[in-house]
Amino acid sequence: MTTKIIRLALCVMVFAPCVSVEAQQPKKVPRIGFLDNSTASGSAVLVDGLRQELSRLGWVEGKNITIEYRFAEQKLERLPELAAQLVRLKLDLIVVTGTSAALATKETTSTIPIVMTSGSDPVGAGVIGSLARPGGNVTGNANLSPELNTKRLEIIKDAVPNLSRVGLLRRPETIPGEALQLKEIRPAAQALKLNLEEIVTQFDAKGLESAFQTAKQKQVNAIMTTTARQFFAERKRIIELATKHRLPAIYFQREFVDEGGLMSYGLDYIDLYRKAALYVDKILKGTKPADLPVQQATKFELVINLKTAKEIGITIPQSVLHQAVKVIK
């Protein structure tokens, strides 16, 4: 009996440290990447939406999840390099903004899950196989950037009396998403009997000032931009220039109007970033990206700033105001 007790005690002494070490092993903290083609400051409001939704789902940055951020600083040519940096970190997942970032990341890895916050025609661009069955390692949200430009033209024409010439700020290079927008907006302008002046725009202060000078020289009556992340990042400067030159403008996100722009019509992008967090949550819990259909954005909103309208000297018709989900007075 005594011998058995001694043997049992020895077993407890041998295995107890193992149990203790196992109990003290920390759980693996998931690491995700974030790749954006614009700037950290320009994207801050959207990134906050992503983080807040992740937190609501139980993923708190710095506590049980870490995020590696990479911003291309308005230089699309840097995306492949930044995507490669993130892939080398052997992350659990990479969140990307836009089709260009999605393509750059997909070309770098076929194994790490990729979640798009929003992608313009990801099927046509070759990012995914189809919305219902994306296949591969990419999923997330798709937007309707090309189609919405037509609606913006209609709204600005209704809002500005006798509008005949619209200046369209576009980036210097034509990437797949922007090519689709131009393909949509050119015939739309013709159908609305509007002259569309395409103004190639650099994204620094000098380039934006030059673009507005060109707009005035071409005698445009209103301004809009393609839905490029770079324009969103430079929204404050664009708003200042539009006000300075007394040019009515319609933008693609409400954040422009919140910061003093005249009007916007488009998707609720913060909502898209929150939905991207839902994809992150599901994938981190074991769901494969190929099994998660890509969602088409369906929430659109018209926002109008009457303070700005008064400042630049125009009156927005009641027929347009009635369409707005928010009017800033």
CATH code of 246's domain: 3.40.50.2300
12: in domain:
no
Specify whether 132 is located in the same domain as 151: no
CA–CA distance, 185 with 82 (Å, rounded to integer): 32
Specify whether 51 is located in the same domain as 112: yes
Specify whether 75 is located in the same domain as 189: no
Domain span including residue 228: 145-267+301-328
Specify whether 161 is located in the same domain as 185: yes
pLDDT at residue 8, rounded to an integer: 46
CB 253 within 8 A of CB 231: no
**Residue 268: Cβ within 10 Å count:** 18
16: in domain:
no
Residue 166 in tokens = 């619209």
What dihedral do alpha carbons 234, 237, 238, 241 form, nearest 10°? Answer: -170
Q: How far is CA 325 from the centre of its chain?
A: 21
Q: Which of 252, 241, 158, 255 is CA-nearest to residue 206?
A: 241
Burial of residue 200, with CB atoms counted within 10 A of its CB: 0-12 exposed, 13-18 middle, 19 or more buried = middle
Specify whether 151 is located in the same domain as 257: yes
In order of 64, 275, 305, the CA distances from 26 in angstroms are: 11, 29, 52
Specify whether 38 is located in the same domain as 180: no
CB 106 within 8 A of CB 136: yes
Specify whether 139 is located in the same domain as 238: no
Taking only the tens of pLDDT, the chain with its 329 residues reads: 455 544 544 444 444 454 444 445 567 899 999 999 999 998 999 999 999 999 999 999 999 999 999 999 988 899 999 999 999 999 999 999 989 999 999 999 999 999 999 988 899 889 999 999 999 999 999 987 667 899 999 999 999 989 999 999 998 877 767 888 898 999 999 999 999 999 999 999 999 999 999 999 999 999 999 988 889 999 999 999 999 999 999 999 999 999 999 999 998 889 999 999 999 999 999 999 999 999 988 888 999 999 999 999 999 999 999 999 999 99
CA–CA distance, 250 with 155 (Å, rounded to integer): 8
pLDDT at residue 302, rounded to an integer: 97
Q: Which of 78, 70, 77 is CA-nearest to residue 94?
A: 70
Q: Give kind and range of the element (H or E) at residue 94.
A: strand 93-96
pLDDT at residue 314, rounded to an integer: 95
152: in domain:
yes
pLDDT at residue 143, rounded to an integer: 84
CA end-to-end distance (rounded Å), the chain: 90
6: in domain:
no
CB 205 within 8 A of CB 236: no
2: in domain:
no
pLDDT at residue 277, rounded to an integer: 98
- Tell me the whole-structure pTM to 2 decimals: 0.82
Q: Give kind and range of the element (H or E) at residue 249.
A: strand 249-251
CA–CA distance, 86 with 212 (Å, rounded to integer): 37
pLDDT at residue 19, rounded to an integer: 46
Specify whether 168 is located in the same domain as 246: yes
167: in domain:
yes
Specify whether 118 is located in the same domain as 243: no
pLDDT at residue 26, rounded to an integer: 60
183: in domain:
yes
Specify whether 193 is located in the same domain as 313: yes
CA–CA distance, 324 with 303 (Å, rounded to integer): 5
159: in domain:
yes
Residue 187 in tokens = 């015939």
Specify whether 93 is located in the same domain as 193: no
Specify whether 253 is located in the same domain as 284: no
pLDDT at residue 12, rounded to an integer: 47
CA–CA distance, 321 with 327 (Å, rounded to integer): 7
Task: Give the total number of structural domains in the chain.
Answer: 2
